Chains A and B, each alone.
Chain A
Amino acid sequence: EVQLVQSGAEVKKPGESLKISCKGSGYRFTTYWIGWVRQMPGKGLEWMGIIYPGDSDTKYSPSFQGQVTISADKSITTAYLQWSSLKASDTAMYYCATSNGYNFDYWGQGTLVTVSS
């Protein structure tokens, strides 16, 4: 069974750094892309970026390029989304999802990030 298990909710202050994780199991981690999707409170889905763990090829939405960093450690079948300096506007639910490059097949349960002073 394909599973993506994300790290727990985070409460941070503006300017702090953060790295959230997404651990895959039940499939060959290196042969499927993993994407990250943001959902701000009461809003729709926004694609942030995607990584191919096999060779770490990474692509970002222009809206998020330079704002976040996506990485993966195939030795522990885990993908990451990180910020170097959080803003209040980063408050959102973040989902990871497997992808064949064109659809998002399996989704993690989401990680709620709250940024508040």
Chain B
Amino acid sequence: QSALTQPASVSGSPGQSITISCTGTSSDVGGYSYVSWYQQHPGKAPKLVIHDVSNRPSGVSNRFSGSKSGNTASLTISGLQAEDEADYYCSSYTSSSTRYVFGTGTKVTVL
């Protein structure tokens, strides 16, 4: 089971919107509504920001939104802020023996 494919880096200016893609297969992203997104600041533990494709946990800013089309999921951060600068990982449940698979990770830079 290969990792889900994410762009290595995405950047944007404060106030802009950016979108991070996460491409898998019909055995993972395309086959289930169990895609989640995690934010990780340097030296910190990951934090869940989106679960079940598009649901935000309590306390997560509504500037974060998720969606899915076919085998590709997306995380959009609107009104980009300096505090959003971090690494972002997608994850999906998978029918393979691996059970879960993470994405390759995307570094978000706020210009």
Question: Which positions in A face B, CB cutoff 8 Å?
Answer: 35, 37, 44-47, 50, 59, 61-63, 95, 97, 102-110
- Closest 6 A/B residue pairs (Cβ): A102-B34, A103-B51, A107-B45, A103-B36, A47-B100, A44-B105
A4 (CB) vs chain B CBs: closest residue: B45
Q: A62–B96 Cα gap in the complex (Å)?
A: 10
Q: Tally inter-chain residue pairs, CB-CB below 8 A.
A: 63
A95 (CB) vs chain B CBs: closest residue: B45
Q: Is A59 touching B99 in the complex (CB atoms < 8 A)?
A: yes
Q: B36: which A residues are within 8 A, CB to CB? A: 102-104
Q: Is A105 touching B51 in the complex (CB atoms < 8 A)?
A: yes
Q: What is the interface of chain A mostly: helix, strand, loop, or mixed? A: strand
Q: A62: which B residues are within 8 A, CB to CB? A: 1, 97-98
Q: Is B45 touching A110 in the complex (CB atoms < 8 A)?
A: yes
Q: A65–B45 Cα gap in the complex (Å)?
A: 24
- Contacts known (A44-B102, A47-B101); A104 close to B91, Cβ less than 8 A: yes
Q: How many residues of B contact A (CB 8 A)?
A: 25
Q: Supply 29 A–B pairs (Cβ within 8 Å), ascending by A.
A: A35-B100, A44-B3, A44-B89, A44-B102, A44-B104, A45-B89, A45-B91, A46-B102, A47-B98, A47-B100, A50-B100, A61-B98, A61-B99, A62-B97, A62-B98, A97-B46, A102-B34, A102-B36, A102-B93, A103-B34, A103-B36, A103-B48, A103-B52, A104-B36, A105-B57, A106-B48, A107-B47, A109-B45, A110-B45
Q: A46–B36 Cα gap in the complex (Å)?
A: 14
* Residues 75-111 of B contacting A (Cβ, < 8 Å): 89, 91, 93, 97-105
Q: A59–B98 Cα gap in the complex (Å)?
A: 9
